[in-house]
């Protein structure tokens, strides 16, 4: 670990101008004696850096001459004549005196000598320095060694001796116990004042380990985080093993209180640190399902921590493992108790009841999760759903789908167009706003609807590639959305589920939260006051029902005055928190009773809105549903996937009559089409996913978004928000709470591809 000796001058270079004039007290003049010769006398500034060198090395002469007509240096250092200001590099082989001579216009001269001392190479000082070992743990010894030649004195900085003494022997060694990484510098001084230096560094090996949190419950995890300096290898005991990187973290789930030790090494140096994860004795027991028919089976699942022994009563007996399960089939309602004992004899218990022949219905549902995506009509997604179900051999799957190859609809530039399979998974936007939607339905004087003008309103938004408006008639099938087609076929859907009003996203989402839009038919301008209608979240909060709001790109709830309540704000979380909860063994206890999931709108483009790739949005939804299906919360949950409005896309089923939410009429402007709040919006896709849904079920009951509110209100005994949700159907038609749940084990579902054609220029078929 030594560094090569380097020759240098410790003395800083200085340039002291020495003014040599024709006077009687200084340099050599013209021999005429002293006295001031006037302002025209020659002046020399002459310097050398360095003035002592080792034979074979160079030094630099520098000068500046004024009031002179000639200037020279002897011995010669360059071309003749020399400039009045300049430098010259010289390499004398022996000590040499250089004489600078200047003459003014009157022939008066001034001279100045400078001597360069040259030291023979063999007599110059040298110094080497090393430390061994070069890396030590704090408090460990290392040996600092140095050796010099031709030196009259050696100093080491920082001091290695007591009382800050820096002078040491010309050669030697000393044991040190450094407390921090330190660079030591040795300086050797030669007889002629020449100085040389050498440096070496001793590095401190360090490591820290922390556990967050320091206390965990059964099945929970703690994060071990480490930082290190100067380590070549790191490992953690308790079965963790080698870890990589000078810093990092990993998750541990100890079954009992555990002390983790990290060991850092570098050569012979070793440093350690410890962190303790406290895991007090605990055990939980769950029954799935909690309700069985006579002769049915339930699975008892336990998670234990810190237990030396486990046993379950009611004839089950001793069980092993920190977590596990056992099947039971009680003849009558039975409470099972698991007893855990640690090594010190401490005991704790947990119980689970299996009810036989008792149906708790909707009240047995512990979690209702609703996710709302963007701007899709039922026909745009599920026009071919009936054909798909038939191809899967599912009998009696009757659905009012919307594909008719013979239907012709007027186009914006004249002529007609027909329904077609949309070739691209991304199209340009369309407008489902109040005026466009009320025009699209084409209501006749007798009150019926032709549903034929969708292509005629496509130019109300910016577009580049579809001049005839055909993209409004494009439809997808199972080749584009295999996951949604199988999900809707296996579980439950509706061919009569609508948005709340013939308008675009914001008013419909207000209905989803408040069962009213308070008269609004368009989004409020930027900077408008918050909406004052009480939301379903305030109802849940006031009833002390546990709820959570997850978002990926933005929080729609912030537009309501409910948001000003800190208790409500604190129930909103980033989407990752949903996945984290469902990954826990305690997900069924940790997941809220009601969960709202905002669409993946904004920067991620995962909301399936026109202008985004629908396949990527569907794949994102799949990860959210998969997380629930694979979690302990699945067995008593309902997940509803729904879309906020039709997006300006064709649907052949007209809206239906609904109850006005309140006495506030639509806030129509002078140019707005007439209408009121007694007409629903267009059909939208809606899928109900739960172990308790009727398999392969299609509802034909007319509903709109506030039926989801009615389901939540029915389950948690909440008062309706407005007359609209008070009159809505509660959706219990979708469930079978009499027979054992059909989907405790979810059916296999296909992957959702994301490699479809993504090219908006192909959004319209050739005419």
Q: Model confidence over 146-173: pLDDT tens digits?
A: 998 888 899 998 888 766 667 888 898 9
CB distance 418 to 406 below 8 Å: yes
Burial 207-236 (b: 16+ CB within 10 A, else e): bbbebeeeebebbbbbebebbbbbbeebeb
Residue with the larger pLDDT of the pair 354 and 474 = 474
**Is 70 exceeded by the pLDDT of residue 746?**
yes
Model pLDDT, residue 118: 86
The class (CATH top level) of 368-527+592-761 is alpha beta
- The pLDDT of residue 365 is above 80: yes
In degrees to the nearest 10, what's the CA dihedral of 606, 609, 611, 614?
A: 60
- The whole-number average pLDDT for the span 125-140 is 90
What the block records as the tokens of 629 is 């299906």
CA distance 551 to 577: 10
Q: Say yes or no to pLDDT of 37 above 80.
A: no
- Strand pairing partners for 594? 368, 547
The tens digit of pLDDT for each residue in 509-549 reads: 999 999 999 999 999 888 899 999 999 999 999 999 999 99
User: Checking phi first, is residue 586 left (phi over 0); if not, alpha (psi -120 to 50) or beta?
Assistant: alpha
Q: What is the pLDDT of residue 503?
A: 97
Rounded to whole angstroms, the Cα distance separating 87 from 59 reads: 10
Write out the two tokens for 364. Answer: 């047995």
Beta bridge partners of 305: 282
Q: What is the mean pLDDT of the chain?
A: 89
Residue 602 has pLDDT above 90, yes or no: no
CATH class of 127-280: mainly beta
* pLDDT mean over 489-502: 97
So what's the architecture of 282-358 in CATH?
A: Sandwich (2.60)
pLDDT value at 487 more than 80: yes
Dihedral sign for Cα atoms in the order 592, 598, 602, 603: positive
196 three-class SS: strand
CA distance linking residue 204 with residue 137, whole number of Å:
5
Q: Could you tell me which of 284, 292, 290, 346 has the C-alpha nearest to residue 312?
A: 284
CA distance 124 to 7: 9
pLDDT of residue 553: 82
pLDDT of residue 558: 94
Is 698 in a helix, a strand, or coil? strand
Does residue 712 carry a pLDDT above 50? yes
Residues in the chain: 767
Neighbours of 331 (CB within 10 A): 9
Residue 290: per-residue pLDDT:
81
* Inter-axis angle of helices 614-629 and 482-490, nearest 10: 40
Residue with tokens 């191809």: 391
pLDDT surpassing 60 at residue 389: yes
Percent of the chain with pLDDT over 70: 93
Q: What is the pLDDT of residue 295?
A: 67
pLDDT band at residue 309 using 50, 70 and 90 as cut-offs: very high
Whole-angstrom Cα Rg for the chain: 44
> Would you say residue 601 has pLDDT above 80?
no
Looking at residues 411-417, what average pLDDT do you find? Answer: 93
**Rounded to an integer, what distance in angstroms lies between the CA atom of residue 612 and that of residue 605?**
6
Q: How confident is the model at residue 745 (pLDDT cuts 50, 70, 90)?
A: very high
Percent of the chain surpassing pLDDT 90: 69
Residue 218 banded pLDDT, cuts 50, 70, 90: confident
- What CATH class does 6-122 carry? mainly beta
Range scoring the smallest mean pLDDT among 71-80, 457-466, 621-630: 71-80
Cβ atoms of residues 629 and 641 within 8 Å: no
Query: Residue ranges per domain, the chain?
Result: 6-122, 127-280, 282-358, 368-527+592-761
Closest CA to 377 of 752, 734, 607, 681: 681
pLDDT confidence band for 280 (50 / 70 / 90): confident
User: Where does the pLDDT of residue 196 fall: very low under 50, low under 70, confident under 90, or very high at 90 and above?
Assistant: confident
pLDDT number for residue 162: 66
pLDDT of residue 151: 87
The confidence score (pLDDT) of residue 739 equals 85
**127-280 and 368-527+592-761 have identical folds:** no
């Amino acid at each position: 670990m030594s560094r090569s000796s380097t020759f240098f001058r410790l003395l800083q270079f200085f340039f002291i101008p020495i003014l040599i004039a024709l006077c009687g007290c200084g340099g050599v003049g013209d021999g005429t004696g002293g006295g001031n010769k006037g302002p025209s006398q020659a002046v020399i500034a002459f310097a050398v850096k360095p003035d002592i060198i080792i034979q074979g090395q160079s030094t630099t002469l520098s000068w500046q001459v004024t009031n002179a007509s000639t200037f020279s240096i002897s011995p010669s250092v360059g071309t003749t004549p020399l400039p009045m200001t300049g430098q010259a590099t010289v390499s004398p082989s022996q000590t040499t005196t250089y004489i600078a001579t200047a003459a003014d216009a009157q022939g008066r001269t001034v001279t100045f000598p400078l001597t360069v001392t040259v030291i023979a190479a063999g007599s110059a000082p040298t110094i080497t320095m090393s430390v061994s070992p070069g890396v030590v743990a704090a408090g460990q010894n290392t040996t600092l060694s140095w050796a010099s030649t031709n030196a009259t004195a050696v100093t080491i900085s920082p001091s290695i001796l007591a009382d800050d003494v820096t002078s040491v022997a010309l050669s030697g060694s000393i044991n040190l116990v450094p407390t921090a990484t330190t660079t030591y510098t040795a300086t050797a001084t030669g007889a002629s004042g020449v100085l040389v230096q050498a440096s070496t560094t001793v590095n401190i090996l360090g490591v820290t380990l922390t556990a967050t949190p320091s206390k965990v419950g059964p099945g929970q995890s703690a994060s071990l985080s480490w930082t290190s300096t100067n380590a070549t290898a790191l490992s953690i005991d308790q079965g963790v093993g080698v870890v990589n990187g000078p810093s990092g973290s990993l998750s541990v789930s100890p079954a009992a209180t555990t002390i983790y030790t990290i060991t850092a090494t570098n050569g012979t140096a070793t440093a350690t640190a410890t962190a303790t994860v406290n895991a007090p004795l605990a055990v939980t027991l769950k029954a799935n399902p909690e309700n069985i028919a006579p002769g049915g089976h339930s699975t008892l699942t336990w998670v234990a921590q810190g237990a030396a022994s486990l046993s379950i009563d009611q004839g089950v007996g001793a069980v092993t493992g920190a977590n596990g399960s056992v099947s039971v089939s009680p003849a009558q309602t039975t409470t099972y108790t698991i007893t855990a004992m640690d090594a010190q004899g401490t005991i704790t218990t947990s119980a689970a009841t299996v009810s036989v022949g008792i149906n708790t219905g909707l009240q047995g549902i512990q979690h209702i999760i609703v996710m709302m995506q963007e701007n899709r009509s039922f026909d745009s997604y599920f026009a071919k759903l009936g054909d798909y179900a038939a191809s899967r051999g599912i009998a009696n799957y009757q659905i009012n789908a919307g594909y008719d190859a013979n239907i012709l609809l007027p186009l914006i530039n004249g002529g007609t167009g027909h329904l077609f399979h949309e070739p691209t998974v991304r199209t340009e936007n369309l407008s489902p706003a109040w005026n466009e939607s009320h025009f699209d339905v084409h209501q006749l004087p007798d009150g019926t609807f032709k549903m034929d003008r969708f292509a005629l309103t496509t130019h109300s938004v910016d577009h580049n590639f579809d001049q005839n408006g055909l993209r409004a008639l494009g439809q997808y099938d199972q080749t584009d959305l295999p996951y949604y087609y199988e999900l809707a076929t296996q579980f439950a859907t509706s061919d009569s589920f609508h948005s709340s009003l013939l308008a675009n996203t914001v008013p419909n989402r207000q209905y989803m939260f408040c069962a009213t839009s308070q008269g609004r038919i368009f989004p409020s301008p930027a900077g408008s006051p918050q909406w004052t209608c009480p939301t379903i979240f305030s109802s849940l909060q006031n009833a002390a029902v546990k709820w959570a709001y997850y978002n990926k790109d933005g929080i729609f709830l912030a537009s309501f005055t409910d948001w000003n309540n800190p208790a409500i704000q604190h129930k909103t979380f980033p989407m990752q928190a949903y996945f984290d909860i469902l990954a826990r063994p305690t997900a069924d206890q940790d997941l809220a009773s009601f969960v709202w999931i905002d669409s993946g709108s904004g920067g991620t483009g995962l909301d399936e809105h026109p202008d985004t790739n629908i396949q990527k949005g569907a794949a994102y939804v799949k990860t959210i549903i998969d997380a629930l299906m694979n979690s302990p919360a699945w067995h008593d949950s309902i997940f509803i996937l729904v879309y906020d409005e039709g997006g300006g896309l064709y649907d052949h089923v007209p809206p239906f009559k609904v109850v006005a939410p309140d006495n506030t009429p639509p806030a129509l402007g002078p140019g707005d089409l007439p209408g009121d709040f007694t007409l629903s919006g267009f059909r939208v896709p809606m899928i109900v996913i739960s172990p308790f849904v009727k398999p392969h079920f299609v509802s034909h009951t007319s509903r709109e978004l506030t039926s989801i509110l009615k389901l939540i209100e029915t389950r948690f005994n909440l008062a309706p928000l407005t007359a609209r949700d008070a009159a809505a159907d509660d959706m219990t038609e979708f469930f079978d709470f009499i027979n054992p749940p059909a989907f405790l084990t979810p059916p296999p579902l296909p992957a959702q591809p994301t490699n479809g054609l993504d090219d908006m220029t192909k959004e319209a078929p050739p005419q």
